[in-house]
Amino acid sequence: MKKFLTIVMTVIILVAAITSSTVTFAASMPTTTITSIKAQNKAFTVKWKKKSSITGYQIQYSTNSKFKKNNKKIKIKNAKTVSKKITKLKASKKYYVRIRTYKLAKKNNLYSSWSKKKCVTIKSRETIGAVTTTVQTHCTNNNNHGMSCGNIGKWFNNKREIEQYLKEIDNNYAQKYENGEITYQEYVTKVPYGYECWSCGYCGKWTGNFYYRDSEKNA
């Protein structure tokens, strides 16, 4: 019975020795340094120098300056990563941060020594600057379009409406001439014989100038 128990204990010890991973501190491992820490709303972003010939980095942060308690670690598995945002932190608390490199070698983690610690005080809330919104009003009247209003005195949705408006003027004065309200000379001088037009760059509406035979009415 004793022999059987001895064999069982030996097997357990061997299995434990095979399956357990060891943490090795290697003097040859390149060390890194923290370049900056930026406090944010219940968070901070830490940046560090990139190193080569490693697997990644391990960040440790704590409210204890000697990392004796309240420690948390985060593993960065990409050696090209050089920053990390740590969230869900306590507001107005001071945190101490340090970092080291690591490398996987035959299932063993090789670690460098820790960098010098740096501290950061977490913000209770982010200070958001007031955003000033300038509301530009365009095209609310004849005088605030992207282009000046012509002597027509109004804006149209398209050029066809200008042509229609010109026809209405012609028909109106033609009717007055036929009714004997105005002379032919008045009809000729009051009805435009042509026009030029342009559109607003903001709203796309059209305006323009009418051409009159009477030079005093020309734009």
Give me the percent of the chain exceeding a pLDDT of 90.
Answer: 53
Asked whether the whole model's pTM tops 0.75, one would answer no
Give pLDDT tens digits for 41-63: 999 999 999 999 999 999 999 99
| Domain boundaries along the sequence of the chain | 23-121, 159-217
Q: Which residue has the tokens 């903001």?
A: 202
Determine phi and psi for 46, rounding to 5 degrees.
-110, 140
Give pLDDT tens digits for 143-162: 778 778 889 989 999 989 99
The verdict on domain 23-121 having CATH code 3.40.50.300 is no
Q: Is 86 exposed, middle or buried (0-12, 13-18, 19+ CB in 10 A)?
A: buried
| 83, 92 Cβ separation under 8 angstroms | no
